[in-house]
Amino acid sequence: MRTLIRGGTVVTATGASAADVLIDGETVAALLDPVHTGALVGAADRTIDASGKYVIPGGIDVHTHLDMPFGGTFSADDFETGTRAAAWGGTTSLVDFAVQPKGGSLRETLDTWHAKAEGKASIDYGFHMIVSDVNSQTLKEMDVLVGEGVTSFKMFMAYPGVFYATDGEILQAMQRAASSGATIMMHAENGIAIDVLVAQALASGRTDPGWHGRTRPPELEGEATARAIRLAQVSGAPLYIVHLSAQQALAAVTEARDEGRNVFAETCPQYLYLSQEDLDAPGFEGAKYVCSPPVRPKDHWAHLWRGLRTNDLSIVSTDHCPFCFKEQKELGRGDFSKIPNGMPGIEHRVDLLHQGVVDGELSLARWVEVNSTTPARMFGLYPRKGTIAPGSDADIVVYDPALRHVLSAETHHMAVDYSAYEGRQVQGGVSAVFSRGEVLVSDRRWHGQAGRGRFLPRGACQYLR
Ligand code: URP
Ligand code: ZN
Ligand code: ZN
């Protein structure tokens, strides 16, 4: 099957130009100067008119939690609903987190996550591994997983008694990662101090969702981020700070990068668009916005946009971890610490970032870079993913920059009963989505198939100095 995408503006991380794209089977065959495309039209089986639209590499969301056990329940999207919603929003690959149970083996955990995805995913997917139990067996298994294309391991300085690892355990895992070429991903919040603040708040009758934010102050994210950076320095491992939300944490990352260290960070749309005001919504409404680290006071937003421009923040991922308001978020009525942590967003990342372009926060090329190209390079998928170039997988989004639409639970495709962005109008939306040359979305219709998505074994981070 040969497909010609004609008349659009191809945008990659290096800039925008008028070009036509020829897809042959699953990969990109050529980028053509439109002046010379005419002769090829007859040779294509199908031609897509992209006039007035951008043609961009499919989005890559490197932080999702599909079908994940957490807080006594499971995230609401599984690999079928979650990957479909991702594709509707212009994301064609994701990297999800497998979660080692305490006492469990990494190898068996990986098999469990393969089984969760197989037969369900409609886009390509890889895995990171959450290490919640550092011991000699786990450390050995980290090397085995690297050999199977799982080259990144998430650890937690938060959630004592659940995922939390001590500094000593973190250092050991980092040393192992340094020797095998893997990356350590860090949830950097000082969970020991946070638990004290949470207990104090609850003891004085402060039980509303807004207290989730107040008991996880930005200083404790900044402190943990700085500590993780020094542990990584001592061990020699590359470090990737996940879901960075606070200007104090960004300052620590910026300093490390200025020192030339292999330290990287992502933020998420919720930290660019939502705030403590949302957590303080009347009644129990604020529970919809409970995630960790928490959404911050609005004055952090400008720092994060600045970090995205300067590459101190390299990636925007979603940390998609949806829990329905009814029955799931409600587990924390009367005690904010029992609200399952996490928010839905897998469908809206590309649009919310494009809104950043419309608002003058990001250039077009930077939009593509933080959305697709850097995620591919950071997690060992480039150039198969993350660009439009001969030989790359034909994961392509035809994007209409003029389309205005309103985000709402009424229209989204995520299996969750609320939208964190209910009623927000955005400019820009997906017109067609291709994954390895197959149409998943066009004319507002779904053409994809559960189970067509393939596992992506990944290489090492491609930015290491
Ligand atoms: O609140 C969050 N972020 N939930 C998902 C788990 C995590 O820490 O990434
Ligand atoms: Zn986390
Ligand atoms: Zn997460």
The 10s digit of each residue's pLDDT in 113-132 is 999 999 999 999 999 999 99
At 388 the pLDDT is 98
Q: How far is the CA of 269 from the centre of ligand 3 (A)?
A: 13
**Nearest CA owner, ligand 1 atom 9:** 319
Contact call for residues 398 and 82 (beta carbons, < 8 A): no
CA–CA dist 88, 308 (Å, integer): 25
Which ligand neighbours the alpha carbon of 340 most closely?
1
pLDDT over 90 at 47, yes or no: yes
pLDDT over 90 at 43, yes or no: no
CA-angle at 215, arms to 213 and 217, nearest 5°: 75
Q: How far is the CA of 261 from the centre of ligand 3 (A)?
A: 24
Q: Which atom of ligand 1 is nearest to the CA of 187?
A: 8
Percent of the chain with pLDDT strictly greater than 70? 100
Q: Which atom of ligand 1 is nearest to the CA of 158?
A: 8
What is the arithmetic mean of pLDDT over 189-197? 98
**Which tokens hold the place of 356?**
């950043």
Tokens 């961009």, residue? 56
Mutate to test the pocket of ligand 1, among 321, 323, 329, 416 (most ligand atoms within 8 A of CB): 321
Q: How far is the CA of 319 from the centre of ligand 1 (A)?
A: 6
Contact call for residues 187 and 97 (beta carbons, < 8 A): no
**Nearest CA owner, ligand 1 atom 2:** 342
Q: How far is the CA of 189 from the centre of ligand 2 (A)?
A: 9
What is the arithmetic mean of pLDDT over 231-256? 98
**Nearest CA owner, ligand 1 atom 4:** 342
Q: How far is the CA of 292 from the centre of ligand 1 (A)?
A: 5
SS3 sequence of 270-303: HHHHCCHHHHCCCCCHHHHHCCCCCCCCHHHHHH
Q: How far is the CA of 106 from the centre of ligand 1 (A)?
A: 20
pLDDT over 90 at 413, yes or no: yes
For residue 455, the 8-state DSSP code is B
**Nearest CA owner, ligand 1 atom 5:** 342
3-state secondary structure of 178: helix
Interval 143-166: pLDDT, tens = 999 999 999 999 999 999 999 999
Q: Which atom of ligand 1 is nearest to the CA of 290?
A: 1
Interval 308-365: pLDDT, tens = 999 999 999 999 999 999 999 999 999 999 999 999 999 999 999 999 999 999 999 9
- Global model pTM greater than 0.85: yes
Mutate to test the pocket of ligand 1, among 66, 319, 329 (most ligand atoms within 8 A of CB): 319
Q: How far is the CA of 91 from the centre of ligand 1 (A)?
A: 20
State whether the Cα torsion 198-203-206-207 is positive or negative: positive
Residues near ligand 1 (Cβ within 6 A): 65, 187, 243, 291-292, 319, 321, 341-342
Find the farthest-apart pair of alpha carbons in the chain and give their distance in angstroms, rounded: 75
